[in-house]
A and B are shown apart, each in its own frame.
Chain A
Amino acid sequence: MTTTEICAHIQTIVNRLLEQKGQPPVTLTEGSRFLGGGIPIDSLDLAVLVTELQSLTNKDPFAAGFRNFQTVGELAALYAE
């Protein structure tokens, strides 16, 4: 999958988490920051997002240890081919 395709999946997963919490959907760009950037998700939502991306792509970029990311694009790049 390309970075753009993964960004689309991130948007879907984030909006499902928001809907679960009873909050309105958001539109994300590659530059959107996850935490402290206006998206009403917390670190546990972010953790869920990582778990969901791992099962979607069958890739575990964190297998060798934690890797820092702040934006949608940075996270997507970790899972892109």
Chain B
Amino acid sequence: MPSEAQCAPTGATLAAFTACLGDASRVVVEQDGERMSAGQIRTLATAFAAELAPLAPARIAVHAVRADVTLAALIAAWETNSEVLLVREVYPVTDAFWTQHEVAALFDQQLKPLQQWPSAVRPTKPAVLLTTSGTTGKPKVAVHELEKLLGRVRTEQAGNRWFLSYHPASFAGLQVLLTAFCTRSELVAFAGMSAADLVARVLVAKPTHLSGTPTFWRALLLALTKETPLPLRQITLGGEAVDQSILDALRAAFPEARIIAIYASTEAGALFAVKDGRTGFPATWLREGIEGCELRIVDGVLQVRSPRAMRGYLGDATKRALTDDGWLITGDVVEVTGERVEFRGRVDNVINVGGGKVMPEQVEAALLEVPVVREVRVYGIKNPIAGDVLAADVVLAQAVTEAEARKAIFSALSARLEPYKVPRIYRFVDKISVNATGKKVRVNS
């Protein structure tokens, strides 16, 4: 295998990107059950490019709910030298969001024009703009050059059947969309569906390649039966911290599949992949770099320098994400244990329990190894004595009484974790809700 560090510039190129529409009859996207050929995508993109021509080059926004429309919008933007902002939700046209970000025109999920604004921005090269999934207020907008987005896309494995479990306007969703397209694979996509509904569609769609959050994979494993085998050849995990129990469960369920954990973010782009079936990544990467990226740990948080990072945020928010010497602060808390760097959770998810810092992801990973636990969310509840008290919503895997479950969970966790990291309050629920990017909804009350 070639050194991963040398692979960065050898991904798909822009020329290869548009060449993927060459065979007009090839099915590119199966959108909501409708098979869309390369010729149909070409027609959609050409019509949209014609619509953009009087404005171009311009910064435009598209309500990117459908994979086929998103693909056509990307091609049209590329061909008109425009910047395309992919949005997951449409604010009212009177909202300051559009003018603040100097958007010239907004299009709906069928690429029909909704509004135009006078705009002074004349892009000099095509770019894809993505909104960050901020938890408070309006999202920030990250600017990515299309060429860099293609940087980790390998074109060797062609003719697969991918399934889109992410929103097409999320960073992970866009990566799946571009990967499927550049490898001349089919992409099965459904617009605006809940994670639970998507799991049911996977069982019918029978993809060979599927990328999802650990939360999504757990839901899929639970829905899987002997009567519904999946021909998966590649399993990709991303978006949330990966725990060993999900890696092991996937290995057991799909012994033949490649299992890959992707480390990426909207700001940092696609950084690297871990393929050895273990959580975290080798500590040697801190010294040697990986896939063209440099990594370092400052104050327990991972910082990166990547050739595939965003150009910046729109506006002046970039400074807050970068250190003075130009490293991107990922916000991921990591810990070096021997020859491994392990992810402990997000800085902004830290819960303060009696002065001790708790990463909910670490506690969730421990909980998921308790046999009676099927799915879980750990959160803090504000408390006058302890700052926060730790609580867990638990979906039970077995028919046990709540009292038995409490006892089993508490003793299993107390044997492994520091006492303040063991949740004291348990609520037994039917399901754990996830957001549009397939991640657990994190609300500390």
Contact = CB atoms under 8 A, between A and B. Distances in A.
Given A44-B424, A47-B354, A20 B406 contact: yes
Interface in B407-436: 407, 410-411, 414, 419-420, 424-426
Contacts of A43: 354, 385-386
B384 to A, nearest CB: 3
Contacts of B368: none
Contact of B385 (A16, A19, A22, A50): A50
B353 interface: yes
B137 to A, nearest CB: 26
Contacts of B407: 19-20, 22
Interface of B: 353-354, 381, 383-386, 389, 403, 406-407, 410-411, 414, 419-420, 424-426
Given A20-B406, A45-B424, A66 B389 contact: no
A52 B425 contact: yes
Contacts of B353: 44
A9 B359 CA distance: 31
Interface string A26-70: 000000000000000011111110111000000000100010000
A43 B414 CA distance: 16
Given A20-B406, A20-B424, A42-B419, 17 more contacts: A17-B424, A20-B426, A21-B410, A22-B407, A22-B410, A22-B411, A43-B386, A44-B419, A46-B385, A47-B384, A47-B385, A47-B386, A47-B389, A48-B383, A51-B381, A51-B383, A51-B425
Given A19-B403, A20-B406, A44-B354, A50 B384 contact: yes
B411 A50 contact: no
A21 B384 CA distance: 23
